[in-house]
Structure 1
Amino acid sequence: MSATGPVITAWAAVSPFGTDRKNFLDGMAAGRPAASTSKPEDGVVPGEHGFVVPNFAIREILGRKGTRMMDRVAALTITAVGQIFDAGEPGNAPEGTGLVLGTTTGSIWGAMDFTRTSMLAELPYHVEPGRMPGGVMNCAAGHCAIWYQLTGPNTTLANGRPSGLIALRYVRRLLARGRANTALVGSVEEYSLDRSWLEYNARDGAPGPLGEGACLFLLENPGSVSPDRTPLAELCSVSSRVYLEDDPRSSMHACVLDALTEAGVEAADVSIVAPSGFTGAAGEYESEVLDGLFGRVRPQWVDVAGLIGDTGAVSSSFQVAAALGLAGDRPGVAVVTSVDADGTIACAVFRLFGVQT
């Protein structure tokens, strides 16, 4: 179980399957779509339906103090981080723990609600000041750092669906350069009517089912792991590409090969493949390339989007979590890929230690 790169020692998920990691693992193991779906009223929201976190009432879960103006993105993040450290109490995180959070644009609802109110109110400045922070991209990460007294680097990255993998690469550099020995890393996305309309217009038509949630991992340098935590997997490599007018297949193929080469892994060594499951044209290219690289090897494939919908920025983090859960007590290698319609591609390779999550 020796590792030279950063290791995942804990993780948490708040998903349409429920508000904790066990709900997510049980849901993935069952292989049935999440039951907590909401059917929007006809003519109000485009698309089919939304997979939401069930019974997620912010003030009931986090209490009344400090939550009156809290947006859903911040609440989902705080809830997930609280599962990683004992009871989520402030001060339980190791000194200097950082937080790197991936997102699309922060709280889409928060930004659009603030803007909408300024236009519809009797006067433009008749808006609730407490709502303004929720419209800022790094609100959730900052709020979470204050809530749990995280004193390390605090960063928000906006990379759409690959955000979780891009955040992992960022943390890998932080740990390698000694900026932190321990860091929380993951991504978050909310479901809202505003997001559904944005997806509708971006895709020039009704999107597939949208989902939401937050998924975070605790990454540590191997030599800094506390005796009470057990490494679950090693982050071996993360590669990314941006294609514009190039053939996305060649970009995807090069991205995956780069990640495998950096990790020192052959296609035949891969036991789990977790693609994004994106329903757009980019997703078709992704499936085609992965099938060409691993189809003959017959690794186990993970379908997350098919069970909880398009979870946007948190999708790639959920893919990593699903690979960890699927591995069970079997050591192996997992390849996680993500694509976005804007031309972003990412791939990460993990060495799984076969430790029950």
Structure 2
Amino acid sequence: MSRQTGTGDRLVLTDWAALSPWGVGAESLAAGIRSGRTAVAELDPTLWRTPYRQGAPIADLDLPGLLGNKGIRSMDRATGIAVATVGLLLSKHPIDRLADTHSDVGLVLGTTSGSVQSMMSFTRDSLTGAKPYHVDPARFPNTVMNRAAGQCAIWHGLKGPNTTVAGGAVTGLLALSYAMRLQRGGHCAVVVCGAVEEFSEQRAWLEWHARTQDADPVPLGEGAVVFLAEWESSATARGREPVADLLATEFGAFADPASARFALERCVTRALRRAGVRPEQVDLVVPAAPAGPLGEAEQWALDDALGGDRAVRLRHRGLLGDTASVSANVQIAVALVADVPGPSAGRLALVTSVDREGITGCLLMRLRDHRERVGQPPTDAGAPTGGEETQR
């Protein structure tokens, strides 16, 4: 059983990987964020029969090219994306070099509800077939929410704790908080932590019917972002340099958009207090920035908690559409790679999230000087620097 190595040790992120509509790898996601170019495009109606005219699926997703042909016949889209993304991370950091044993490497993977496409397709087959049991048994595992996490562990030999977390747009923060508790409790030394979301016709129709009458339909996106979380002393001993220090996470609940403002304000205040940080010390804020009343509540909460307008606020949601459970992970990536003027080392970054189901949360982290290690910033000085940058 792994233990914290010293009283002065801290939890850090040392690397990350992504698979997104912008391409394969963290470098592609970083380049897309820095350029400010949207991945949302017109959908081909012959491929996607959805109520949305636009979306951001991963174009020409080539799972055989990423994973090989063996063992992927019954793998659904969400599972394939997750397994491939974890593979990208572990290809840079082989599991034998991550920790002393494979049991010291855990996995925490977030999702909204697993593969909606698999669940609905399997149910349809049981209702339309000659007999209810005339279904493909090989596809049944895809209907359970932890299918992607389980396959990631089996495929890559991760023998530590394996957990699936679901919490809407806040999922990425919840998963990271859970990973930190695993490590502080001595259950594993290293955690591969992230989230995955698939684009499908079934998910599109569910989202369409779930939206409120006054909400504009936000194009859907997909992808996966996974991080490597570990103790700094262990990472340094193995030659891995931290990209960010994990200072604090906090969560809350609310009943309506009006109370979301106060719930998030309390979360941010608690996180700052736990980390020993004053509001005016926060340099960068990456809000979820949902449309409508929730977005307004988030902005007011940040004004209440931080005061003034010193912190730069970055908005990115229009770039990838609604990535649901991956949203907060993309926000963390924005904080890590956005080409904001000034040195990145020591910058305090706050990531906030609110979900329409009544969950809110935040993450406070201290950035290291690492941007040159994840892609290159645009050489054109006039290019956008990470989505819509505002300062309130």
TM-score w.r.t. length of structure 2: 0.85
User: CA contact under 8 A between 1:162 and 1:316: conserved in structure 2?
Assistant: yes
Q: Determine if the alignment matches structure 1 residue 178 to structure 2 residue 192.
A: no
Distance in 1, matches of 2:285 and 2:49, equals 37
2-structure distance, mates of 1:345, 1:42: 35
State the SS of the aligned residue for 2:117: helix
> Counterpart in 2 of 1:228?
239
* Offset, 1:93: 4.9
SS, match of residue 352 in structure 2: strand
Q: Note if 1:143 corresponds to 2:148.
A: no
- The answer to whether the aligner puts 1:330 opposite 2:344 as a matched pair is yes
Partner of 1:22: 27
CA-to-aligned-CA distance 1:100-148 (integer Å, 9 cap, x gap): 0111101111111111111122221111111111110000000000011
**CA separation in 2, counterparts of 1:90 and 1:254?**
39
Q: 1:44/1:37 Cα in 2 relative to 1: closer, same or farther (>3 Å)?
A: closer
Deviation at 1:87, TM superposition (A): 5.8
Root-mean-square deviation (CA, aligned residues, Å) is: 2.3
Q: Equivalents in 2 of 1:247, 1:344: separation in Å?
A: 11
Q: Supply the distance in 2 between the matched residues of 1:136 and 1:162 (Cα, whole angstroms).
A: 21
Q: Could you say if the C-alpha distance between residues 129 and 91 of structure 1 is closer, same or farther in structure 2, counting changes exceeding 3 Å?
A: farther
1:81 to 73, 78, 86: 86
Q: What is the total number of aligned residue pairs between the two structures? A: 356
State the alpha-carbon separation in 2 of the partners of residues 134 and 178 from structure 1. 31
Partner-residue secondary structure (3-state), 1:112: helix
Determine the structure 2 residue equivalent to 1:305. 317
SS at match of 2:168: coil
* Matched-pair contact (CA < 8 Å) for 1:243–1:251: yes
Q: In structure 2, do the counterparts of structure 1 residues 178 and 90 end up closer, same or farther at CA, with 3 Å as the change threshold?
A: closer
2 CA distance for matches of 1:199 and 1:37? 18
Superposition TM-score, scaled by structure 1 size: 0.93
Q: Deviations over 1:303-349 (max 9, x none)?
A: 22110001000000111011111268512011001111000001010
CA distance in 1, matches of 2:9, 2:96: 29
Structure 2 residue identity aligned to 1:50? G
> 2:160 aligns to what?
152
- Structure 1 residues 235 and 336 mapped into 2: Cα distance closer, same or farther (>3 Å)? same
Alpha carbons of 1:4 and 1:257: their partners in 2 closer, same or farther (altered >3 Å)?
A: farther
Q: Distance in 2 between matches of 1:86 and 1:157?
A: 24
Per-residue CA deviations over 1:225-248 (Å, capped at 9, x if unaligned) read 143210110110000001125722
Deviations 1:55-87 (A, max 9, x none): 212223211101001011111111111121236
Q: How far did residue 280 of structure 1 move? A: 4.3
Contact 2:9 2:233 in 1 (8 A): no
Structure 1 counterpart of 2:334, one-letter code: A
After TM superposition, the structure 1 stretch with the greater mean CA deviation from structure 2, 75-84 or 296-305, is 296-305
Moved more, 113-122 or 147-156: 113-122
CA distance in 1: counterparts of 2:186 and 2:344, whole angstroms:
32
Alignment correspondent of 2:250: 239
Aligned to 2:69: 64
Name whichever of 267-276 and 99-108 sits farther off: 267-276
Match of 1:124 in 2: 132
Which residue of structure 1 lines up, in the alignment, with residue 384 of structure 2?
Answer: none
Residue 267 of structure 1: how far off its partner (Å): 1.8
Query: Cα deviations across residues 183-240 of structure 1 (Å, max 9, x unaligned)?
Result: 1111111111111111111114562111111001000012211432101101100000
**SS, match of residue 369 in structure 2:** coil
Unaligned runs of 5+ in 1: none
Q: Which amino acid aligns with 1:277?
A: A
Aligned to 2:18: 13
One-letter identity of the residue aligned with 1:350? M
Measure how far apart 1:174 and its partner are: 0.8
Shift of the alpha carbon at 1:90? 7.1
Q: Which runs of 4+ in 1 moved over 3 A?
A: 39-44, 87-94, 291-295
**Equivalent in the alignment of 2:4:** none
Which deviates the most, 261-270 or 308-317?
A: 261-270
For 1:11 and 1:126, how far apart are their aligned partners in 2? Answer: 42
**Conserved? CA contact 1:12–1:215, under 8 Å:** yes
Q: Distance in 1 between matches of 2:47 and 2:231?
A: 51
SS of the aligned residue for 1:55 comes to coil
Structure 2 SS opposite 1:85? helix
Q: Could you tell me which residue of structure 1 aligns to residue 43 of structure 2?
A: 38
Whether contact under 8 Å (2:34, 2:339) holds in the other structure is: no
Which residue matches 2:369? 354
**In 1, Cα distance between the equivalents of 2:8 and 2:113?**
34
Do the aligned partners of 1:93 and 1:150 also contact (CA within 8 Å) in 2?
no
